[in-house]
Homo-oligomer: A and B are copies of this chain.
Amino acid sequence: MRNIRNSNIELKGHPVTAQRRLLLKLIRDTRGHIDAKELYRRASSMDESISLATVYRSLRLFKELDLVDERRLGQVRCYYEVKQLGEHQHLVCKGCGAVIEFKSSLIHKLVDKVQSEHGFNVTKAELYLEGYCKECREEAKGSS
């Protein structure tokens, strides 16, 4: 099951370019999230002529093709991660910046309820929790 030549299936007819192949690989080699700037940095070290505009264009394409998910985690910028099978949500520590992923079946229940109550067809559900992890809480206690 070789994968050196391109499948062209993933990109649904969009030309498979070296840049897109590289960017998709870099995203998939990342555990967790990556933002456009960091992706650009990593891509540059493999192909120093790649442009930041291409990174953004590719991310938009991947998003449209449902290959990656885009999330805003606290800051202004966006973060990307490979599309996963199950939905999951994010818990961000304001102290150390750690991002923890978790799943909860309650989300489904909630979405179902909202759909029926408001006649909505919900296509995206993002729960963002922010706070302080155990370590950062203890640190704060100690220093104050």
Q: Interface size (A, Cβ < 8 Å)?
A: 35
A109 CA / B113 CA spacing, docked (Å):
15
Q: Which of A7-15, A23-31, A46-54, A126-134 faces chain B?
A: A126-134
A107 to B128, CA, bound (A): 11
Q: Is the CB of A114 within 8 A of B130?
A: no
Q: Is A124 an interface residue (CB 8 A)?
A: yes
Cβ contacts A92-106/B at 8 Å (1 or 0 each): 011000001010101
In the complex, A83 has a CB within 8 A of chain B: no
Q: Which 5 residue pairs are nearest across A and B when measured between Cβ atoms?
A: A119-B134, A122-B131, A124-B130, A123-B131, A126-B128
